[in-house]
Amino acid sequence: MKELLILGAGTSGTMMANHLRKTLPKKDWNITIVDQEETHYYQPGFLFLPFDLYKTKDVKKRIDKFIPKGVHLIQEKIDKIDKENDLVQLKNGNLLHYDILIIATGTNIAPQEIEGMLGDHWHNSVFDFYTYEGAKNLRNKLRNWEGGKLVVHISEMPIKCPVAPLEFAFLADSYFINKGMRDKVEITYVTPMSGAFTKPKATEALNYLLEQKNIKVVSDFNIEHVDGENKKIVDYAEEEIEYDLLVTVPTNMGDDMIERSGFGDELNYVPTDKTTLQTTVKENIFAIGDATNLPASKAGSVAHFEAEILTENILRFIEGKALKQEFDGHANCFIETGHGKALLIDFNYNQEPVKGTFPFPGVGPLSLLKETHMNHMGKLAFKWIYWNMLIKGKHIPFVSATMSNAGKQIEKTT
């Protein structure tokens, strides 16, 4: 029997376990997945939790509920990968041999990377919403907060779901309007980028919304430290921004076992071919989702599209065939803008978000780069799709792994 080993049972790893158990012959291949956690979190829900739009039960379920029959789940911490000998060492000392390895260990916040971010003020006046505990504690804070200077801040790129901080700012505006206290809250959006988003046309649309909602933008802010005592963040140019409540996205980093394994970049992301998802570490090691160093968004939709392509490339690798250079960086993201509306963007490595209709040309029913209630409904519907289709490895109809230009208003170049 040959061994296929998956590290990480989050979105990407769970999808791959479901895809591959359906396709690999049970008589030839054992599939094992390793993760120290017992709970699977619906991470897009962390955005809604602080505003009491979701309950805690909406965002977490038992991790073993989604591991398919025939896949062995090991709930232990991973120590390191011995790539030379095709072994993974667990923290308890056990060794796991593999013939094919898939790294799906995701990304985590690393507030310790920013001087002063951690301390007595952490989850008191300084919060994250990229973790379950952070989102829940921020919810409790907002319920009784009386107003002041709210700063929504990104430490550095890349981050998981690049639009989430913007969504938080938009939802905060809506939340405080509904509480009748928007005039008591000054919202500032602080980013290390030169604009609201990584793509110019999307930035143009998002800047308009920020202005409309009276959200101040501070760009090109590269944080040096947090002064928790005086409640201000300071960048390398010594610019200071005061806050009463800081909602920050700390540095995002890959799993620290990547560093212990002796490969990965300075943020512990795995060097990966951006079209095949085979790593440059060794030919029998593949990576997917947030664990990779791909120049694509670290978002659930990207992992979903990658999983369909990686499944085929795993089969081709086993058969000794050339891998398909097919992944194009496709990302499909709803951007919640508050008051029951949302934007939708659809883009890839080469094509930035543009206006149009999705998934059907002229029909939609979803609109690209335009605020609509239908897009908001699509965002809410994604929770059901996630739990019932996406992580179970089921194909989502009408949405292809590679981006389609159908329905998009793409400017022709001469």
The secondary element (H helix, E strand) that includes residue 171 is helix 164-178
Contact 61, 40 (CB under 8 A): yes
**Residue 203's pLDDT band (cuts 50, 70, 90):** confident
Share of residues in the chain with pLDDT > 70 (%): 99
Read off the pLDDT of each residue in 135-161 and give the average, rounded to a whole number. Answer: 97
- Cite the DSSP H helix spans in 282-357: 300-318
Laid out side by side, the sheet with 148-154 consists of 126-127, 245-249, 148-154, 185-190, 216-218
Burial class (CB in 10 A: 0-12, 13-18, 19+), 61: middle
Domain boundaries, the chain: 2-109+253-318, 111-252
Per-residue confidence at 414, pLDDT binned at 50, 70, 90? very low
What is the average pLDDT across 34-63?
96
The pLDDT value recorded for residue 31 is: 98
pTM score > 0.85 for this model? Answer: yes
Mean pLDDT of the chain: 95
Among residues 105, 210, 122, 126, which one has the least CA distance to residue 163?
A: 210
Domain 2-109+253-318 shares a fold with domain 111-252: yes
Task: Return d(Cα 17, Cα 10) in angstroms, integer.
Answer: 11
pLDDT value for 197: 73
Whether 25 shows a pLDDT value over 60: the answer reads: yes
CATH topology for 2-109+253-318 is FAD/NAD(P)-binding domain (3.50.50)
pLDDT tens for residues 252-264?
999 999 999 999 9
111-252 CATH fold: FAD/NAD(P)-binding domain (3.50.50)
| Distance set, CA 360 to CA 80, 122, 406 (Å) | 46, 46, 7
**CA nearest to 250, candidates 104, 110, 66:** 110
Residue 196 — very low, low, confident or very high, per pLDDT cuts 50/70/90?
confident
pLDDT (tens digit per residue) in 309-328: 999 999 999 999 999 999 99
Residues 374-412 have pLDDT tens digits of 999 999 999 999 999 999 999 888 889 999 999 999 876
Max intra-chain CA distance, the chain: 66
